[in-house]
């Protein structure tokens, strides 16, 4: 039996480690994430309680116990912030927290060495790509609330469990190590996009080095797929998938949220003609974000918003294309050429972002203070 076919059986055994002595009423595959395997768990006899069981990818998380240590620090900090929220500004925001296994740890390692954790389930819906009216504004508000809640959390308390994550020059170096062979027309297009923009890759890292952008706590993967919206009101109530929370530059979050939420076609598509950057959603999202976080941003923070969204589209396209050339060893794929298709979509989006540069600068100026001169 293949490892993939035996996964539900392994998941059932893992779930039993968190609910010893209890049968499971249901265990269903949940979502189609690129990295982890995720299941919805309902213990027998539980009328309303649902939980999320995940197997963390050993390809990505070499020290998964440190992921859980970060999650515990984050959960404790957010719990304190919400309990101290006398003005009820964060009313309705819901926390992700880990459950203890039978041995008291926040995780379970099965006999095959797989690393499992159980989290509380947050009811709601995800909207990826964003389709509902007003959801872009709520997505921006969610990211702003998250950044505001962790603004007083010392980044030094978190372990950088993914060194180099979102550090674009590192991804470019990875690409350079395997690039060079002749490819088909689509591969040549991707290589050309990368070569024409390689000098742009270190713009955010250089800004941090020069003291323009501080290291803060970031989510790391703030796509709409990781935002929970209340079904009836459409209000954002939580951000999930906290495995990538780490010290970093909030511009990686801002850029990735804009990149993913404002792509008219979404990330995983076959029809490249549908790809394009939606400046209307950009305006809604930045308005929501800056309404929560704008007062905590510096002039330099505003100046680097446009370079951030441009860079994150470039970075993800670069990562997808590199993984395609390497034989699809990082991202899950449904077919050979899947990562190439993903790269093509991101590079088309990058070109659309560049064509919309003036409009994006205008939006930044209208939503907050003037974006200033383009630093690139």
Spell out the domain ranges in the chain.
7-120, 135-367
Do residues 31 and 41 lie in contact, with contact meaning Cβ atoms separated by under 8 Å?
no
CA angle 87, 88, 93 (to 5 degrees): 150
pLDDT tens digits, the chain, 376 residues: what are they? 344 445 678 888 899 999 887 777 778 887 665 567 889 988 876 666 889 999 988 777 888 999 999 999 999 999 999 999 988 999 999 999 999 999 999 999 999 888 999 999 998 887 666 766 678 999 999 999 999 999 999 999 999 988 999 999 999 999 999 998 778 999 999 999 999 999 999 999 999 999 999 999 999 999 998 999 998 888 999 999 899 999 999 999 999 999 999 998 776 677 888 899 999 999 999 999 999 999 999 999 999 999 999 999 999 999 999 999 999 998 888 899 999 999 999 999 999 999 999 999 999 998 875 444 444 4
The pLDDT value recorded for residue 371 is 41
Domain with residues 135-367, CATH architecture: Alpha-Beta Complex (3.90)
d(CA 60, CA 331): 9
Q: Which one is the CATH code of 7-120: 1.10.3720.10, 3.30.200.20, 3.40.50.920, 1.10.150.120?
A: 3.30.200.20
Question: Which residues, at least 6 apart from 240, have a Cβ–Cβ distance to it below 8 Å?
Answer: 96, 122, 226, 227, 228
- What whole-number distance in Å separates Cα of residue 142 and Cα of residue 145? 5
User: What phi and psi, each to the nearest 5 degrees, are found at residue 54?
Assistant: -135, 140
Distance of CA 167 to the CA centre of its chain: 15
- Full DSSP string of 191-239: HHHHHHHGGGTTHHHHHHHTTSS--EEE-S---GGGEEE-TTT--EEEE
């Amino acid at each position: 039996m293949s490892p993939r076919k035996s996964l539900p059986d392994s998941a059932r055994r893992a779930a039993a480690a968190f609910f010893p002595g209890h049968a499971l009423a249901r265990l269903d595959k949940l979502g189609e994430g690129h990295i982890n395997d995720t299941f919805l768990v309902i213990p027998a006899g539980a009328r309303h309680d649902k939980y999320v069981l995940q197997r963390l990818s050993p390809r990505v998380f070499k020290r998964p116990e440190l992921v859980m240590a970060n999650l515990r620090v984050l959960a404790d900090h957010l719990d304190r912030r919400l309990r101290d929220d006398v003005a009820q500004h964060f009313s309705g925001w819901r926390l992700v927290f880990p459950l203890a296994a039978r041995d008291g740890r926040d995780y379970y390692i099965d006999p095959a060495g797989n690393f499992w954790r159980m989290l509380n389930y947050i009811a709601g819906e995800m909207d990826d790509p964003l389709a509902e009216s007003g959801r872009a504004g709520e997505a921006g508000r969610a990211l702003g609330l998250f950044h505001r809640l962790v603004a007083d959390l010392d980044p030094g308390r978190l372990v950088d469990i993914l060194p180099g994550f979102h550090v674009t020059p590192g991804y470019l170096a990875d690409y350079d190590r395997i690039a060079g062979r002749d490819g088909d027309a689509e591969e040549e297009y991707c290589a050309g996009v990368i070569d024409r923009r390689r000098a742009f890759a270190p713009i955010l890292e250089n800004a941090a080095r020069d003291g323009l952008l501080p290291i803060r706590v970031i989510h790391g993967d703030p796509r709409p797929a990781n935002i929970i919206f209340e079904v009836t009101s459409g209000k954002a109530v939580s951000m999930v998938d906290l495995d990538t929370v780490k010290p970093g530059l909030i511009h990686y979050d801002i850029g990735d949220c804009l990149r993913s939420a404002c792509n008219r076609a979404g990330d995983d598509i076959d029809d490249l003609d549908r790809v394009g950057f939606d400046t209307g959603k950009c305006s809604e999202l930045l308005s929501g974000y800056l309404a929560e976080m704008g007062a905590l941003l510096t002039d330099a923070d505003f100046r680097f918003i446009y370079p951030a969204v441009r860079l994150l589209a470039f970075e993800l396209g670069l990562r997808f294309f590199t993984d395609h050339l390497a034989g699809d060893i990082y991202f899950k794929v449904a077919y050979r050429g899947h990562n190439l298709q993903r790269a093509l979509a991101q590079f088309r989006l990058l070109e659309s972002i560049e064509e919309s540069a003036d409009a994006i600068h205008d939006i930044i100026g209208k939503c907050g203070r003037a974006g200033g001169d383009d630093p690139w």
